[in-house]
């Protein structure tokens, strides 16, 4: 199997307008150049249906006649050529002047009038650690002279997480309980975590799977990625500090993970490719993690933001405050490298599997993708514009992740919000 070129086509033309007026607004996340996939329903008694975001609307894909099912796994598992053909057909039907406007008008619903859920049911979840700036900053808190462990620059580090607690934007969860070891103590306490944190990540959703025992080469790896969402890997830092050795994260991570509901496809991301360049002083990737296409355009230019809305802000009608900004381009490993590494031992990925990138922080201190970084482990509290102070999250706090792609000669596209709220301990 040969690698699929990551080229542009008619669907990326920046001047294309849609007959859905809201899709033409300058600030929309969902212009006709995006066309992300997700699932919606009118109420909890109805089955999930496949939709495509266009402006402030949802296009019921089954109602258009373009698909004869509402099985997202089946759609995601299709070969790349079929996915591109479907994208082109949707684009043709939604563009200004389309003969399908009258036919498809009844298939459009307001996003505010439906429930948006997980893009698909998650089979397995793996969280990686691709953010070298996050890894370095956190490492310095515990190992000032040797922040990165010797294997970090050689192997994409990851762990297998819990799929059952992954929820869509709007997820609310209770402050978790667990064991913690207070400074100077020799016996752990049990009780509510006092150090709940967020982690700014992207979710990588597997489309076409691979057979057990059949590794995916780096040249073919992106054929197996359907698209990306935002992902918040909530963390109980005090629980994590006590439990993570010797086998890594467990209860500190599995109580909640939040993703945005719209899957931005790899096809939509084509205009925002960037070269993948490893510092000459660093170890170069081993052959199975290296390839010409990956070097030429393996990185993605995705701008990311974290926002905090406290209960006091919400009561005052304040949308919140931006805590940090970063970019996916700073990740130490590419999507293709993650897939190639995940399968090199014969592990089989399946449609709907989710891979987290790990926390995507920038090189500057103010670009930390977690409170652990921004507050230096709680030692430097953050004073918010309204006078409130935070080291870690308090009950009622809402974190909103946002992401967008912009490039010369391309229409801006976005991911929609990834919103989650911490509730008091149950």
- Gap between the Cα atoms of 363 and 359, Å rounded: 13
Which two structure tokens, joined as six digits, stand for 323? 């805590």
Which residues have C-beta within 8 Å of that of residue 119, sequence separation ≥ 6? 37, 38, 39, 72, 205, 229, 259, 261, 262, 263
Residues found in the chain: 426
Residue 91: φ, ψ to 5°: -60, -45
Positive/negative CA dihedral, 216, 220, 226, 230: positive
Catalytic residue among 12, 133, 134, 342: 134
**Two tokens, residue 42:** 């009118």
Cα separation, 52 vs 57, in Å, equals: 8
Strand segments, DSSP code E, in 182-318 are 189-192, 196-197, 200-206, 225-232, 235-236, 257-259, 264-265, 273-274, 299-300, 303-309
Question: What are the DSSP calls for 168-184, one per residue?
Answer: ETTEEEEPPEEEE--TT
Q: What is the CA radius of gyration of the chain?
A: 21
Query: Which has the closest alpha carbon to 288: 248, 207, 342, 212?
Result: 342
Q: In the annotation, is 73 catalytic? A: no
Count of C-beta atoms within a 10 Å radius of residue 171: 19
With H, G, I as helix, E, B as strand and everything else as coil, classify residue 21.
helix
Active-site positions read 134
């Amino acid at each position: 199997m040969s690698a699929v070129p990551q080229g542009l086509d008619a669907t990326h033309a920046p001047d294309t307008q849609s007959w859905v007026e809201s899709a033409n607004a300058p600030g929309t996340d969902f212009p006709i150049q995006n066309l992300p996939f997700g699932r919606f329903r009118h109420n909890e008694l109805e089955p999930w249906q496949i939709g495509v975001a266009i402006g402030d609307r949802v296009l019921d894909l089954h109602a258009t006649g373009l698909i004869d099912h509402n099985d997202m796994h089946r759609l995601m598992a299709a070969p790349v050529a079929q996915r591109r053909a479907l994208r082109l057909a949707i684009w043709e039907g939604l563009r200004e002047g389309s003969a399908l406007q009258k036919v498809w008008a009844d298939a459009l619903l307001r996003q505010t009038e439906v429930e948006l859920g997980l893009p698909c049911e998650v089979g397995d979840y793996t969280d990686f650690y691709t953010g070298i700036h996050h890894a370095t900053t956190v490492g310095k808190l515990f190992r000032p002279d040797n922040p990165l462990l010797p294997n970090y620059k050689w192997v994409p580090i990851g762990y297998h997480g819990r799929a059952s607690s992954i929820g869509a934007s709007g997820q609310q969860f209770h402050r978790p309980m667990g064991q913690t070891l207070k400074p100077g103590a020799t016996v752990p306490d049990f009780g509510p975590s006092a150090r709940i944190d967020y982690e700014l990540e992207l979710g990588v959703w597997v489309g076409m799977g691979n057979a057990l025992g059949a590794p995916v080469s780096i040249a073919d790896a992106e054929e197996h990625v359907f698209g990306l969402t935002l992902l918040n890997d909530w963390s109980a830092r005090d629980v994590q500090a006590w439990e993570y050795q010797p086998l890594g994260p467990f209860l500190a991570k599995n109580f909640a993970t939040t993703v945005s509901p719209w899957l931005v496809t790899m096809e939509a991301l084509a205009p925002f490719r960037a070269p993948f360049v490893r510092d000459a002083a660093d170890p170069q990737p081993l052959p199975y993690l290296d390839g010409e296409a990956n070097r030429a355009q393996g990185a993605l230019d995705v701008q990311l933001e974290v926002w905090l809305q406290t209960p006091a802000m919400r009561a005052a009608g304040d949308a919140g405050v931006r805590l940090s900004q970063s970019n996916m381009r700073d990740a130490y490993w590419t999507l293709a490298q993650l897939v190639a590494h995940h399968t090199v031992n014969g592990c089989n990925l399946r449609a709907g599997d989710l891979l987290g990138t790990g926390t995507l922080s920038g090189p500057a201190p103010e670009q930390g993708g977690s409170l652990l970084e921004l507050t230096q482990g709680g030692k430097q509290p953050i004073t918010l514009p309204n006078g409130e102070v935070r080291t870690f999250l308090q009950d009622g706090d809402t974190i909103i992740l946002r992401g967008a792609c912009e490039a010369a000669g391309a229409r801006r596209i976005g991911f929609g919000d990834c919103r989650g709220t911490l509730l008091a301990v149950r």
